[in-house]
């Protein structure tokens, strides 16, 4: 199928199921306006050393270094293919000229099977998150940063997204991401320019003398920019939100699951019943939130303000 220049799906490489591309034949991958690189080191028999690989691997159970290229979900967001980011150092996605004011709007991320298993169980290199008591304030997050292609950092253009967070006072709120989660990258950047670059690097509370001990990998899929004013322009036909004093009332066209996220991607409230969903907000501060609606075969999102 034809690829849209504003959407990065990783599908155009045409990988068979349960295989991956890691830069061994050519180190650049281009899709629409996006260019990314996988670096392959030929020493020691050859290995993927850094950058972004493309995978259709479905192994959601082998949680060690022999399974670097699998998402914990066992597949991509809306298709078989997805990106796997080696992010101990900055991994980069370059974006070509996008007419006038390009807007990074959204994407989806999840953990690899390897990182998820390491954090949830611990292994020979890394600790179990939370420790034996469950009280250790562990974390694992992606640091997104935006640059012009001249390498000049765009002012205030960075964003952290937590793939695991055990810093809550209530241990019941601790989590490790095990599904594709929506990331709002809106307004980073919102400038006319010849091109820019997004870098991604992971950080963990579990570190040692050689850097982080947590496996420094995550998965990414369906990155999209648009000239539209916001996510709302693409989702109004799939659901309607009523803002009430103590809740967001979400009416969906078909049976679906609905989640309310904060701007860091943390799930605050969820509902899995029917087509009418009440997301309680009485304990939440004023601010911007994201409603994510998951229906069979698709995921939609809309930003909403709580007064």
Average pLDDT for 225-247: 63
Average pLDDT of the residues of the chain: 85
pLDDT tens across 110-119, in order? 999 999 999 9
pLDDT band at 236 (very low <50, low <70, confident <90, very high): very low
Which residue segments constitute the domains of the chain, with CATH numbers given?
A: 7-225 (2.60.120.1350), 232-306 (2.60.40.3080)
pLDDT tops 80 at residue 211: yes
pLDDT tops 80 at residue 145: yes
pLDDT, residue 168, reads: 96
pLDDT band at 194 (very low <50, low <70, confident <90, very high): low
pLDDT, residue 233, reads: 37
Q: Is-contact 55 84, C-beta < 8 A? A: yes
Neighbouring C-beta atoms of residue 307, cutoff 10 Å: 6
3-state secondary structure of 50: strand
pLDDT tens across 43-101, in order? 998 999 999 999 999 999 999 999 999 999 999 999 999 999 999 999 999 877 554 33
Residue labelled with tokens 């030929």: 42
pLDDT, residue 232, reads: 40
- More confident position, 68 or 103: 68
Q: What are the phi and psi torsion angles at 267 (to 5°)?
A: -75, 125
Query: pTM surpassing 0.95?
Result: no
For residue 282, the number of C-alpha atoms closer than 13 Å in the C-beta half-sphere is: 3
pLDDT tens across 238-250, in order? 788 888 889 999 9
Average pLDDT for 23-49: 90
Least confident of 15-24, 27-36, 85-94: 27-36
For residue 7, the number of C-alpha atoms closer than 13 Å in the C-beta half-sphere is: 9
**How long is the chain?**
307
CB within 8 A of 94, min separation 6: which ones?
34, 35, 36, 149, 195, 196, 197
pLDDT, residue 5, reads: 53
- More confident position, 202 or 287: 202
């Amino acid at each position: 199928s034809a690829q849209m220049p504003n959407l990065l799906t990783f599908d155009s490489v045409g990988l068979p199921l349960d295989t991956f591309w890691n830069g061994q034949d050519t180190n650049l991958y281009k899709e629409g306006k996006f260019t990314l690189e996988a670096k392959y080191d030929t020493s020691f028999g050859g290995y993927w050393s850094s950058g972004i690989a493309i995978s259709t691997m479905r192994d959601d159970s082998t949680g060690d270094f022999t399974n670097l290229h699998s998402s914990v979900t066992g597949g991509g967001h809306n298709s078989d293919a997805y990106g796997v980011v080696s992010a101990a150092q900055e991994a980069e996605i370059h974006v070509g000229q996008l007419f006038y004011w390009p807007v990074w709007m959204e994407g989806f991320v999840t953990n690899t099977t390897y990182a998820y298993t390491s954090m949830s169980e611990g292994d020979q290199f890394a600790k179990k998150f939370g420790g034996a008591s469950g009280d250790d304030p562990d974390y694992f997050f992606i640091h997104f940063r935006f640059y012009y292609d001249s390498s000049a950092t765009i002012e205030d253009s960075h964003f952290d997204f937590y793939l695991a967070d055990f810093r809550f006072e209530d241990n019941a709120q601790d989590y490790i991401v095990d599904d594709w989660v929506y990331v709002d990258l809106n307004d980073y950047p919102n400038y006319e320019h010849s091109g820019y670059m997004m870098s991604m690097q992971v950080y963990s509370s579990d570190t040692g003398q050689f850097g982080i001990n947590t496996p420094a990998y995550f998965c990414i899929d369906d990155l999209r920019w648009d000239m539209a004013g916001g996510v709302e322009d693409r989702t109004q036909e799939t659901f309607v939100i009523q803002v009430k004093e103590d809740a967001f009332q979400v009416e969906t066209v078909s049976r679906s699951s609905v989640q309310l996220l904060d701007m860091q991607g943390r799930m605050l409230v969820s509902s899995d019943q029917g087509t009418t969903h009440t997301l309680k907000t009485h304990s939440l501060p004023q601010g911007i939130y994201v409603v994510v609606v998951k229906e069979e075969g698709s995921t939609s999102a809309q930003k909403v303000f709580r007064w």
